[in-house]
Chains A and B, each alone.
Chain A
Amino acid sequence: MSESSMTRPHTTVAHHTSLGVDNRKLGVWAFIGSETLFFATLITTYFVFAPVNRARPDFQDPRKFLDIELTTVLASILLASSLTMVLALSASKRGDRRNFTIWLLATVGLGPTFFVLTGFHGTHVAIGVIWLLSVFFKVRAYPNSPENAMDVEIAGLYWHFVDLVWVAIFVLVYLI
């Protein structure tokens, strides 16, 4: 059996509900929905208090604190990590262990670039990196078994959401 076609023996197709969908995937989407509201309240608070903060003598302009060039590089890195994540999922689904390893670890490698710079968002990136590494070590032997492929998919959903939040922060805080 070639490495690229390995499938775990005695796989289980568990976690399906009366809705006909995987309950873990549904849970992650519901979690992402709640996180959308979470970030929206933070961004709204930022905008509401922006005029007050700008009037303060100790005001720190985010555009000077993190200039546009650096922010653009960070945005590109996070977008690139979404590409590597979806390529890891694609490799996982077809049982291509080599490419799965390359793309998932590339995603993990791109994440910490963000860590120290964006506070709350950085915490989410850190959690995402830990989640991705956990998934990698759990599923690396049989990435295309149904259970393991779902593990990769739901970790990927969270990672893309982290990217999505930065798409919003980038334009709302740094460009507008």
Chain B
Amino acid sequence: MAGHSEEHTVHAHGEHSHSDRFYWIVAGVLAVVTALEVGLFIVNEQHLIAKWLEVTLLLILSTIKGAAVVMFFMHLKGDAGIFKFVFLVPLAFATTLLLSFMVLFSDHVGIGG
């Protein structure tokens, strides 16, 4: 691994990069979180915990995975603010869109019931 002993380097324009070892560690964490997701899904086929709790836990785990990919593999953490702006604003719109339609078309309060 040609010589990167430091975990974390800051370049010009606020760009951050890490050692290869750090990327392997992140990948390991992603693999563990994926295993947890699948394990939770399989275990709860016996309905051991409430569905809402399973869904909440799955969403938290997938958010951790997505954040790790964006922050460390895509280097958004520590990068220029304009990159964060052009990605996070549409992401916020997308999340709002998804949640709004889910509520709107839900069986309980929306028009889908």
Report the separation of the CA atoms of residues A83 and B27 in the bound assembly, to the nearest whole angstrom: 6
- Contact count A vs B, C-beta below 8 Å: 130
Q: Given the complex, which residues of A lie within 8 Å of B83, measured CB to CB?
A: 21, 25-26, 29
> Are A175's CB and B37's CB within 8 A?
yes
Report the separation of the CA atoms of residues A105 and B91 in the bound assembly, to the nearest whole angstrom: 30
B16 vs chain A, min Cβ distance (A)? 12
Report the separation of the CA atoms of residues A157 and B76 in the bound assembly, to the nearest whole angstrom: 10
Q: Is A116 an interface residue (CB 8 A)?
A: no
> Are A29's CB and B86's CB within 8 A?
yes
> Are B2's CB and A99's CB within 8 A?
yes
> Are B98's CB and A36's CB within 8 A?
no
> Are B90's CB and A167's CB within 8 A?
no
Q: Given the complex, which residues of B lie within 8 Å of A82, measured CB to CB?
A: 27, 30, 69, 73
B65 vs chain A, min Cβ distance (A)? 5
| Cβ proximity bits B61-104 to A, threshold 8 Å, 1 near / 0 not | 11001100110111000001011001101110111011001100
Q: Given the complex, which residues of A lie within 8 Å of B80, measured CB to CB?
A: 19-21
Q: Is A170 an interface residue (CB 8 A)?
A: yes
Chain B positions 47-63 with a Cβ under 8 Å from a chain A Cβ: 55, 58-59, 61-62
Q: Is A101 an interface residue (CB 8 A)?
A: no
- Chain A interface residue count, Cβ-Cβ cutoff 8 angstroms: 50
Chain A at the B interface: SS class: helix
Q: Is A127 an interface residue (CB 8 A)?
A: no
Report the separation of the CA atoms of residues A82 and B74 in the bound assembly, to the nearest whole angstrom: 9
Q: Looking at the complex, which one of A29, A37, A96, A164 makes contact with B69 (CB distance below 8 Å)?
A: A164
Please name the residue on chain A nearest to B80 by beta carbon. A21
Please name the residue on chain A nearest to B35 by beta carbon. A72
Selecting from A54-62, A87-95, A118-126, A128-136, the interface stretch reads A87-95
Beyond A48-B101, A68-B41, A90-B20, is A36–B94 a contact (Cβ under 8 Å)? yes
Interface residues of B (CB under 8 A from A): 1-4, 13, 17-20, 23-24, 26-27, 30-31, 34, 37-38, 41-42, 55, 58-59, 61-62, 65-66, 69-70, 72-74, 80, 82-83, 86-87, 89-91, 93-95, 97-98, 101-102, 105, 107, 112
